[in-house]
Amino acid sequence: MLHLAIGEILYLIAVALLWYRVGSYFDQRKSSAVPAIPRAGTGRKTLFRFLLVGWGIFLLFGNIWTIGDAFPVLFLGGRLFRPDVLIVRTLFLLWSVLLIAFPGRKLAQDLRRKVVKLDELA
């Protein structure tokens, strides 16, 4: 109906999930004045953050692998500049860096907390 390929559908779903997480992050920052109650299910958050970082790394390497598409080789050895492909690759690069940086920082904090708790228990 919309002539979307599987990759484009997955991309749109991933963008929707990313903006959902960004919105929930800002909602949590607003309500940070209330003391946080430790909840069960922190393992799920850690796993989700680990998966986001993994997806970001996958996108980063995929972007690096295909960056040459923006500068295809011409018949006589020169290179053609394709700005549309370069813009898409730059957006993928930005998105992959965001998926690595923000969940990676939270993942590192979660892992540090778990190490500190294990040290306290020992």
Same domain, 4 and 64: no
Same domain, 25 and 54: no
Residue range 56-81: mean pLDDT, rounded: 78
Same domain, 99 and 65: yes
> What's the structural domain count of the chain?
2
- Can you tell me the distance from the alpha carbon of 46 to that of 104, in angstroms, rounded to the nearest whole number? 10
- Can you tell me the distance from the alpha carbon of 43 to that of 34, in angstroms, rounded to the nearest whole number? 23
Most confident of 2-6, 47-51, 63-67, 86-90: 47-51
> What is the reported pLDDT for 42?
65
> What is the reported pLDDT for 13?
82
Same domain, 7 and 23: yes
Same domain, 55 and 114: yes
Q: Which residue has the higher pLDDT, 76 or 55?
A: 55
> What is the reported pLDDT for 102?
87
Same domain, 63 and 111: yes
- What tens digit of pLDDT does each residue of 34-53 get? 555 555 456 778 888 888 88
Confidence band for 87, pLDDT divided at 50, 70 and 90? confident
The domain containing residue 89 runs over which residues? Answer: 41-121
Same domain, 49 and 82: yes
> Which tokens belong to 60?
């980063």
DSSP letter (8 states) at residue 38: P
Same domain, 31 and 86: no
> What is the reported pLDDT for 83?
78
Same domain, 90 and 116: yes
Residue range 15-31: mean pLDDT, rounded: 79
Same domain, 82 and 99: yes
Confirm if 59 and 99 have CB atoms less than 8 A apart: yes
Same domain, 5 and 45: no
Residue range 60-76: mean pLDDT, rounded: 78
